[in-house]
């Protein structure tokens, strides 16, 4: 019935080889986990998740520094996490002896939040630091962990908080 | 041509090797953190934002973001009474060092923190020609930097301007919603350091997450809802002039 089929078989063999080559190459080139969840490398997810955090999180801080936590509860900064002002301290949490945190400069760090700006909520305490402190660092009068002044001096016009529009 | 024993002996090992490669491509099982139990988003409470830039600094440090580039930033809006359609928006150094003092008395002024909206139907992942960016099974838009070509399609496609090309790696980069933190049970770096709680990580699949109560009881919007991106960064108290 089939005469002279030899060339067809030869062609089929060539095509089969090509297909085999394609399968091998594709398997070699496409990453292992590609398509695990969708059209992307599934392992990328675990690679991104594997990075180490720089900020320890307040639960870690409060594990050791209970004295500061108690102190903070008395003032307006009760809900502030430690790393808001003290910066990323996961390395310190890992090895408290070797990595010591830097004491923040109150002249800079306080102003970032409390510098008067009309875009800040009205209820938020704000001052024009240049008028209010006259170059003094905030820490001179205020205690950052319990920020209230025991004997509050009579408010001058410049020391009055400047409100926003809301 | 007959397939002789010789041919078969040549063909079979080759096929075996090929099959091993195919098998090697089969995905492995994923580790402990269960992706299917989470659907991440974020809540931003605009009336609480004081524009201190803590989030921007923390993000830069946590994620090693190059100077002058931002995965999150804070914008200051000034909307005058007579031209609410054209707000003046400023963001000096992304708001990284806070905002300079001012006492503008007219119009409406407020801060708007911005970040990737982790869209459920994200335009940026749809345009990626190589599958280097994707929405993870837990709803976070991520970039596979080992697979990214740096073609910039996604940078153009993002309607929120949340992507950039990292000058060191020449690959696309964006907010990962601190994926390396949230999968370890921590909150994002920006939410961790937000002094007023204006930023809160939200797990929409967790019925105990306070986000559900908040969404029910507040007038919450997303950015550019008309683009139907399925944005998952929810803004409370957002003015209509915010773009």
Three-state SS annotation for B45-109: EHHHCCCCCHHHHHHHHHHCCCCCCCCEEEEEEEECCCCCCCCEEECHHHHCCCCCCCCCCCCEE
Q: b/e for B127-138, b at 16 or more Cβ within 10 A?
A: bbeebbbbbbbb
Q: Kindly identify which residue of chain A lies nearest to residue B46, measuring between CA atoms.
A: A121
Using DSSP's 3-state secondary structure scheme, residue B237 falls into coil
Residue A160 domain-assigned?
Answer: no
Residue A67 domain-assigned?
Answer: yes
Residue A117 domain-assigned?
Answer: yes
Q: A-chain residues within 8 Å CB-CB of B47?
A: 121, 166
- Look up residue B226 and give its DSSP letter: G
Judged by CB atoms closer than 8 Å, whether chains meet at B131 and A57 is answered as no
Residue B6 domain-assigned?
Answer: no
| Domain count for chain B | 1
Residue A152 domain-assigned?
Answer: no
Judged by CB atoms closer than 8 Å, whether chains meet at A23 and B18 is answered as yes
Give yes or no: residues A40 and A87 share one domain. Answer: no
Q: How far apart are CA B240 and CA B62, in angstroms?
A: 32
pLDDT digits (tens, 9 = 90+) for A85-139: 999 999 999 999 999 888 999 989 999 999 999 999 999 999 998 889 888 899 9
Q: How far apart are CA B44 and CA B236, in angstroms?
A: 6
| Domain count for chain A | 2
Give yes or no: residues A130 and A86 share one domain. Answer: yes
Q: Taking Cα atoms as reference points, which of B15, B27, B10 lies closest to residue A21? A: B15
Residue B183 domain-assigned?
Answer: yes
Q: Please give the interface size between A and B, counted as residue pairs whose CB atoms are below 8 Å apart.
A: 180
| Model pLDDT, residue B10 | 81
Interface pTM (ipTM) of the complex?
Answer: 0.82
Range A136-147 average pLDDT = 90
Q: What's the CATH code of the domain at B77?
A: 3.30.70.20
Residue B23 domain-assigned?
Answer: no
Give yes or no: residues A45 and A77 share one domain. Answer: no
pLDDT digits (tens, 9 = 90+) for B68-115: 999 999 999 999 988 888 999 999 999 999 998 887 778 899 999 999
A62: domain range? 58-140
Q: Choose among A27, A36, A53: nearest Cβ to B181.
A: A53
Residue B12 domain-assigned?
Answer: no
Residue A155 domain-assigned?
Answer: no
| Model pLDDT, residue B6 | 79
Low-confidence stretches of chain B (pLDDT beneath 50): 25-30
B53: domain range? 35-236
Total-model pTM: 0.84
Residue B205 domain-assigned?
Answer: yes
Q: Kindly identify which residue of chain B lies nearest to residue A110, measuring between CA atoms.
A: B52
Judged by CB atoms closer than 8 Å, whether chains meet at A53 and B25 is answered as no
Give yes or no: residues A79 and A131 share one domain. Answer: yes
Q: How many angstroms away from the CA of A99 is the closest CA of chain B?
A: 17
CB-neighbour burial class of residue B86 (10 A; exposed 0-12, middle 13-18, buried 19+): exposed
Q: How far apart are CA B46 and CA B200, in angstroms?
A: 12
| Model pLDDT, residue B17 | 75
Region for residue A134 given its phi and psi (left: phi exceeds 0; alpha: psi -120 to 50; beta: otherwise)? left
Q: B-chain residues within 8 Å CB-CB of A35?
A: 27
Q: Choose among B15, B78, B132: nearest Cβ to A20.
A: B15
Give yes or no: residues A66 and A122 share one domain. Answer: yes
| Both tokens assigned to B105 | 């008395």
Judged by CB atoms closer than 8 Å, whether chains meet at B14 and A164 is answered as no
Residue B243 domain-assigned?
Answer: no
């Amino acid at each position: 019935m089939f005469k002279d089929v030899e060339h067809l078989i030869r062609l089929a063999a060539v095509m089969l080889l090509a297909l085999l080559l394609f399968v091998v190459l594709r398997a070699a080139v496409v990453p292992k986990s590609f398509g695990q969840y969708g059209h992307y490398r599934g392992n990328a997810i675990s690679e991104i998740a594997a990075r180490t955090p720089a900020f320890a999180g307040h639960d870690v801080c409060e594990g050791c520094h209970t004295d500061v936590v108690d102190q903070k509860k008395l003032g307006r900064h009760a809900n502030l996490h430690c790393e808001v002002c003290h910066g990323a301290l996961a390395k310190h949490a890992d090895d408290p002896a070797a990595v010591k945190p830097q004491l923040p400069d109150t002249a800079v760090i306080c102003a970032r939040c409390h510098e008067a700006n009309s875009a800040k909520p009205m209820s938020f305490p704000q001052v024009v630091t240049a008028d209010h402190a006259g170059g003094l660092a905030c820490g001179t009068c205020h205690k950052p962990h319990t920020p209230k002044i025991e004997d509050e001096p009579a408010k001058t016009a410049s020391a009055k908080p400047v409100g926003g529009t809301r | 041509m007959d397939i002789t024993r010789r041919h078969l002996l040549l063909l079979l090992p080759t096929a075996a090797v090929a099959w091993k490669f195919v098998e090697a491509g089969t995905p492995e099982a994923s580790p402990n953190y269960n992706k299917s139990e989470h659907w991440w988003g974020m809540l931003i409470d605009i009336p609480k934002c004081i524009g201190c830039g803590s989030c921007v600094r923390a993000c830069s440090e946590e994620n090693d973001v190059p100077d002058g580039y931002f995965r999150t930033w804070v914008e200051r809006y000034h909307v005058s009474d007579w031209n609410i359609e054209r707000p003046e928006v400023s963001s000096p150094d992304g708001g990284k060092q806070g905002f300079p003092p001012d006492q503008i008395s007219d119009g409406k002024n407020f801060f708007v923190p911005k970040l990737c909206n982790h869209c459920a139907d994200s335009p940026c992942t749809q345009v990626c020609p190589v599958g280097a960016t994707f929405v993870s099974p837990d709803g976070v838009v991520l970039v596979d930097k080992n697979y990214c070509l740096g073609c910039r399609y996604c940078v153009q496609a993002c309607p929120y301007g949340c992507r950039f090309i990292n000058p060191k790696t020449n690959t696309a980069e964006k907010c990962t919603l601190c994926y390396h933190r949230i999968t370890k049970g921590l909150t994002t770096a920006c939410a961790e350091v937000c002094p007023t709680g204006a930023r809160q990580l939200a797990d929409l699949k967790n019925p105990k997450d306070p986000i559900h109560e908040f969404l029910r009881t507040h007038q919450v919007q997303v950015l550019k809802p008309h683009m139907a991106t399925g944005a998952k960064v929810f803004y409370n108290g957002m003015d209509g002039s915010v773009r």
